[in-house]
Structure 1
Amino acid sequence: MSSGIDADIALDAAVVLSLGVARLAGAGAGLAGRGAEALAARAAGRAEARAAALAEVETHERALREAVERNARIDALAETRSKLGADVALPAAIGLDERSAAELTAWCAATDAVLDEAERHLSEHLAAQVSAQIFAVPAEGLETDTGQGAPPPRADDVREHLERIMARLLPDATEAERLAVAEAARLLADAATAAEAEGVLQEVRLRIQDANRRTRGRRDEERRLAAERDAAEQAVAERRYVLDSITTAFEDLGYEVQAGFETLTAEDGSVTLTKGAWPDHSVRMRVDDAAHVRASMVRERPAESEDDRRLDVEREEEWCSAFESARERLAAAGIRSDVGWRLEPGVRELPVSASARQTRGRVGQRERSRERHK
């Protein structure tokens, strides 16, 4: 990059936490009150006040994340309840906006016990369903004297034992996993002795263990994917915050900030800075992942004289001064910047913007075409 600046940027913890609070709660973008207090305290050098404000924001964000997890669990259990056709009460999901950390934490603690109980009831409902299917018709093997001296298993005892084992099956096991367990349990119908029945029940235990292992694996994977989505959403929020802060800082300094269409989705972090007194110059700036910023001054048409080149140096000096002023404004907004590379004014000839080169190329083609047709 010629005639430009390359800097690493980092967001203050107050900004990061506050963006998380605003995003999780569905509130508008920007700093939450305590985050703003933390930044102000940092600027004033009041360490204790800053620590207290940060701790409050961090507590609020943590409470929001835990509430989001409980809401997701409620949704998952409601889906399982619908699939099983069970009549099991579930708590309502909590609204996150304008809830204090204390309210969210208390709700999570109370809800955990209710959700554990609901999951237990769903497992028992599933166990009763499978047991009812197996014992709907009296089994021929159970309670039938084999004449071999071994006492036959009692149907009531076997059914009670089966339901107790089946209740361990997690309610959100897949349909295929439930069928595999049920297939093993149906073998009880042919068990002629207590030993055979116990062998079948042991197979049921093993299949339940396998189903539960897979189910917990899926839960872990869902949590991992949810964490990835959360991190991606946070990254977008941070990038948006940096772009908005840069836009505000340079607009306050008299620049016009133009963003490409893609910037509206935070997919592209490029902006162009112009001024009314700069007909031939602009600054192209790009923010990468809210962690790096590159800026380069360009010409909108090629320099044609020494006066143009002297003007280039003046514009570069003006831009460098503006960048330092913008850094101070960004620091006040919680965005620290460390310049790693800078090209001083006048060291190199300013590059010509791509759009200007394309326009110049089209003009040249038209001129050559006219020459050929003379």
Structure 2
Amino acid sequence: MSSGVEADIVLDAAVVLTLGMNRVLGRGGDAVGRGAQALAALAAGRAEAREAALAEVRTQERALREVVERNARIAALAETRAKLGADVALPAPLQPADESAQELTAWCAATDPLLDEAERRLSEHLAAQVTAQVFTAPAEGLRADTGGAPPPRRSAEDAPRTLERIMARLLPDAGEDERRAVAEAARLLAAVGTGEEAEGVLHEVRLRIREANRRTEEARERARRRAAEREAAEQAEAERRYVLDSITAAFEDMGYEVQQGFETLTAGDGSVVLTKGAWPDHSVRMRVDGAARVEAAMVRERPAESEDDRRVDVEREREWCAAFEAARARLAGGGIRSEVSWRLEPGVRELPVSGASRQTGGRSGQRERRRERPT
């Protein structure tokens, strides 16, 4: 951008971690939250105190994520339970509030065996369902002589018990297609007459369960990836909003009027316009690119017409540069560090004229357009 500055942004770890925790907790307001001590130590230059506070934040954040994972597993098992119509107890999810990291970790440790037991019982329920269906429905779809090396011989009468034991290996959240494929093979047991035929069918059932579980694990992994993508997008938006809100607050406290969406007239595009009452002919256009970069440029609201206008331009540019450095220092105290990658010094180039001014007849026209924007 001409007549301006570009800077790369790096968020302090305390901010990143605490924004994540606040999203888990569903809290708004103070974005630095539990990371305030780490940020205070950072601002005061107390390295040891900062590291201790940051370690506490990391521990808390990890514990919260463990709780989120257990809550997701509880929800998935509850959905499976409803589909199967099973009477299986599940632990209640935990909605974290003010628990310590130790308390959250203890809850996870106590919940894990309950979830394992619930999954086992759901698998047993599914196995009992399929076994009952097999011996009340006619065999169809496959030949009984499925081949393969049979285990030690047993009588055909043992087949129902063996089938239920094998079926208990099928993951309870296997999809409908996977369960149907297993059931089709299992139904052949209803028509076998010898132990050898039963062993052949059971071997095919084992193979289909193995394939069904493989596909189920793949589906779980896809779900985990989607959840991770949503998590990353939500975190990026939280960081972007934190940077934009912090920049807005910093310049408002220095006496600037901050308006959002100066180009597209949308408040969420990361762009703002800075004005001051003593600047009738000047403004600063700023764009925040996520939480990684900020670009700013001073512009004129109307073309310069005299040398006096250009002298005022240089004065305004110097004032703006000083304000930008003051804002950088303030933002650093809030965990937003920035490194200037490009700068155009005051007076080097004539200020560009605002595109909005050319199109709407000046700032008054632009403000009129903002008032007409639907809410």
Q: Give the TM-score taking structure 2 as reference length.
A: 0.89
Residue 63 (1) aligns with residue 82 (2): no
Q: Secondary structure of the equivalent of 1:298? A: strand
Quote the residue 2:30 is aligned against.
Answer: 30
- Measured at CA, do residues 316 and 152 of structure 1 come closer, stay the same or move farther in structure 2, by a change above 3 Å? closer
Count of residue correspondences? 350
The alpha-carbon deviation at position 310 of structure 1 amounts to: 0.9
Where does residue 95 of structure 1 map in the other structure? 95
* Cα deviations by residue, 1:148-185 (Å, 9 ceiling, x for unpaired): xxx98342x11111011100000000111111100000
The 5 A counterparts of 1:297-316 are 297-316=298-317
Could you say which residue in structure 2 is the equivalent of 1:165? 166
Q: 1:1-374 alignment to 2 at 5 Å?
A: 1-136=1-136, 153-155=155-157, 157-260=158-261, 267-359=268-360
> Take 1:10 and 1:275, find their aligned partners in 2: how far apart are those partners?
28
Q: For the Cα contact (< 8 Å) 1:20–1:234, is it kept in 2?
A: yes
Give CA-to-partner distance per residue, 1:4-52, whole Å, 9 cap, x none. Answer: 0000010011111111111111112434454111111122222221111
Partners of 1:328 and 1:283 in 2: CA distance: 19
Give the counterpart letter for 2:155 in structure 1.
P
Work out the CA distance in 1 between the residues paired with 2:295 and 2:13.
23
Cα 1:252/1:152, change in 2 over 3 Å = closer
What are the ranges of 5 or more consecutive residues in structure 2 without an aligned counterpart?
A: 145-152, 363-375
Shift of 1:119: 0.4
In 1, distance between residues paired with 2:99 and 2:255? 40
**What is aligned with 2:369?**
none
Q: Deviations over 1:209-256 (max 9, x none)?
A: 111001001111111111111111111111111011101111111101
Offset at 1:360? 5.1
Do 1:19 and 1:29's aligned partners in 2 also have CA atoms closer than 8 Å? no
Range with greater deviation from structure 2 (201-210 or 37-46): 37-46
* Percentage of matched positions with identical amino acids: 75
Q: Distance in 1 between matches of 2:360 and 2:249?
A: 31
Larger CA deviation: 87-96 vs 29-38:
29-38
SS at match of 2:345: coil
| Structure number with bigger Rg | 1
Q: Distance in 2 between matches of 1:69 and 1:177?
A: 25
Q: Which runs of 5+ in 1 are unaligned?
A: 143-150, 362-374
Normalization by structure 1: what TM-score? 0.89
1:266 Cα shift?
7.3
For the structure 1 residues 104 and 13, does the alpha-carbon distance in structure 2 shift closer, same or farther, using more than 3 Å as the test?
A: same
* Alpha-carbon distance in 2 for matches of 1:152, 1:49: 70
Letter in 1 for 2:52: A
Q: Is the 8 A contact 1:249 1:326 kept in 2?
A: yes
Alpha-carbon RMSD? 2.1
Q: Deviations over 1:291-335 (max 9, x none)?
A: 100000011111111111111111001000100111110111111
* Change in 2 beyond 3 A, CA 1:261/1:57: farther
